[in-house]
Amino acid sequence: MSDTSNKINRVVKHRGVKVPTFLYGTAWKEAQTETLTQQAIASGFLGIDTANQRMHYYEAGVGEGLQRALLEKGLARSDLFLQSKFTYVASQDHRLPYDPKEDYSTQVLQSFESSLAHLDTTYLDSYLLHGPSVNQGLSAADWEVWRTMQTLQKAGSVKLIGVSNVGFDQLKLLIDKAEVMPAFVQNRCFARTKWDVRIRELCRAHDIRYQGFSLLTANVNELSGPKVHRIAERLSCSLPQVVFRFALQLGMIPLTGTTSQRHMEEDLEVYDFELSEADMNVIENIAF
């Protein structure tokens, strides 16, 4: 059953922290990162997702765009939600934000301080482990990283912590064993897993907000058929708008990475309409 409601707020309180229900993702933007970050905020996005992983993100570019947007829009830092990530060396290129010879705790602290400098801020709203170091279970490295992230949260340097690219059993282990439970899970979201239903249900049971990325690009085949297009035509909106509204009504925080300012504006129009229960069921089961 879908968690539908007539109105979905653009910002909600999660564990005492203001969290936007729609995020702009900055992966793979390279030289456009500064301009696109600025445009996203100008269009109305209040949450920006990045990572200190130069191979796929240009975090310093995010910071430049952020500062320009704050000035132009007359916003305070506290008006925005900034999320970054710690990424292991195996998923980095040679442009590392830490000394790989140091222990994992030191690597996290060095990467975190580098993120603060890139983003010209004194704190982050959310800091994620950019995926466990192993495919099954959690390694000693993962636990050392998580303990260090807990320390950053307790010190007030980051408001909430979480994990990305995580499997069901790994998340359950983290929930069971961690001193500070993750506040967010961010996963690539596939229709063929019924939109990551097992992990979303686990998140819901433990007051964890699920963030879904690649909602469009990971599901091109499933979304190319007539069913979702018919919903879009009936509602006079675009297919991406239907998918993002669907995610919101599921209780998910979707990410968009569009490079079009018009599409940014259209994405945020998803707060202005609602999908029926029948529409939700069609999309939930689109891969079956």
69 touches 42 (CB < 8 A): yes
Closest CA to 158 of 124, 110, 115: 124
Record the tokens describing residue 220, joined without a space.
């091109």
**Residue 255: inside a domain:** no
Amino acid identity for residue 127 in this structure: Y
**Residue 171: inside a domain:** yes
* Rounded-to-integer distance, Cα 279 and Cα 247, Å: 12
In 26-167, alpha helices (H): 33-43, 59-73, 104-119, 140-154
Contacts of 221 (CB under 8 A, 6+ apart): none
* Rounded-to-integer distance, Cα 129 and Cα 119, Å: 18
Record the tokens describing residue 257, joined without a space.
């990475």
What are the Cα distances from residue 276, in Å, to 126, 152, 270, 280?
32, 42, 14, 6
**Residue 253: inside a domain:** no
**Residue 72: inside a domain:** yes
What are the Cα distances from residue 46, in Å, to 20, 21, 117, 264?
6, 9, 20, 12
pLDDT in tens, 106-144: 999 999 999 999 999 999 999 999 999 999 999 999 999
**Residue 279: inside a domain:** no
Domain containing residue 195: 11-222
The three-point CA angle 210-95-87 to 5° equals 25
69 touches 100 (CB < 8 A): no
**Residue 282: inside a domain:** no
Report how many domains make up the chain. Answer: 1
Closest CA to 65 of 95, 43, 32: 32
Tell me which DSSP letter residue 22 carries. Answer: S
Contacts of 226 (CB under 8 A, 6+ apart): none
**Residue 209: inside a domain:** yes
Task: Identify any residues that bridge with 184 across adjacent strands, giving them in sequence order.
Answer: 162, 209
Query: 102: domain CATH number?
Result: 3.20.20.100
Closest CA to 211 of 249, 254, 241, 181: 254
**Residue 261: inside a domain:** no
Record the tokens describing residue 119, joined without a space.
């983003």
Indicate whether this model's pTM tops 0.85: yes
**pLDDT tens over the chain, length 288 residues:** 344 446 899 999 999 999 999 999 999 999 999 999 999 999 999 999 999 999 999 999 999 999 999 999 999 999 999 999 999 999 999 999 999 999 999 999 999 999 999 999 999 999 999 999 999 999 999 999 999 999 999 999 999 999 999 999 999 999 999 999 999 999 999 999 999 999 999 999 999 999 999 999 999 999 999 999 999 999 999 999 999 999 999 999 999 999 999 999 999 999 999 999 999 999 999 999
